[in-house]
Amino acid sequence: MNIILLGPPGAGKGTQARKLVDGRNMIQLSTGDMLRDARSSGTAMGQKVAAIMDAGELVTDEIVIGLIEEKLEGDHGGGFIFDGFPRTLEQADALNDILAKHDASLSHVVAMEVNDKALVQRITARSTCGNCGEVYNDITKPIPADEKCVNCGGSDFKRRADDNEESLRTRLMEYYKKTSPLIGYYHAKGQLVRVPGLGEIDDVAAGIADVLDG
């Protein structure tokens, strides 16, 4: 089963992807994570995309399509979760071609619905464990008082350079202009399911489980 998690920045795609990885042995393919890895390992591509990402703009289709193509060469396991990809109609068409080449297809495109006010609150309050990627929120899920990660015990917490109000405004605009048309695209293909993204993490996960199993 291969699925896309679709939604604006802060919708909770990464959080839900991690739950699906744990619960269903799926493989998470996050282009955002791949690009951040390229940056921190200092590759030429990483250096090229750094300023674009920090500003909240999209990197070129060519770069992210290349990243996804590489990953699909590997083992399919319990299926892929595309997280943060595709983000443009061109990327969506490319994904169809890549999947077809591997005799694979999409079973669901899960649109996670969250209002803009909640997105801003979630993102400006967000930090993650630098070791395991566990996501924290200053208000709803603060870092424990002993400053040890609940998942791995690590104590190196990070805030993303693009999790500030200005670049978030750009990220939201990029989403509405370039990514939200994918909702109509996948609806027309009969693959779209809508899931409420507001509320407790486990409730959202239950909503996603219903559509995947239903």
So which residues are the catalytic ones? 13, 87, 126, 160, 171
- Dmax (CA) for the chain in angstroms is 50
Which is nearest to 165 in space by CA: 112, 200, 117, 114? 117
Token pair, residue 167, equals 């670049």
Q: Single out the residue of 4, 6, 59, 149 in contact with ligand ADP (rule: CB under 6 A).
A: 59
Q: What's the one-letter identity of residue 123?
A: I
CA dist 21 and 34 (Å) reads 16
Which residue in the set 6, 16, 84, 111 belongs to the binding site for ligand ADP (CB under 6 A)?
84
Query: Which residues are registered as beta bridge partners of 28?
Result: 81
The partner in contact with residue 115, picked from ligand ADP, Zn ion, none with C-beta cut-offs of 5 to 8 angstroms by kind, is none
> Kind of pairing, strands 80-83 and 126-129?
unpaired
Q: Binding to Zn ion (CB under 5 A): which residues in 142-181?
A: 149, 151-152, 154
Q: Are 91 and 64 in contact (CB under 8 A)?
A: yes
Residues 103-132 that bind Zn ion (CB under 5 A): 129, 131-132
CA-based angle 46:120:182, to the nearest 5? 65
Interface pattern 95-134 for ligand ADP (x via CB under 6 A): ----------------------------------------
Which residue stretch of 28-36, 40-48, 108-116, 131-139 sits at the interface with ligand ADP (rule: CB under 6 A)? 28-36
The footprint of ligand ADP (CB under 6 A) covers 9-10, 31-32, 35, 52-53, 56-59, 64, 84-85, 87, 91, 162, 171
Interface with Zn ion by CB under 5 A: which residues? 129, 131-132, 134, 149, 151-152, 154
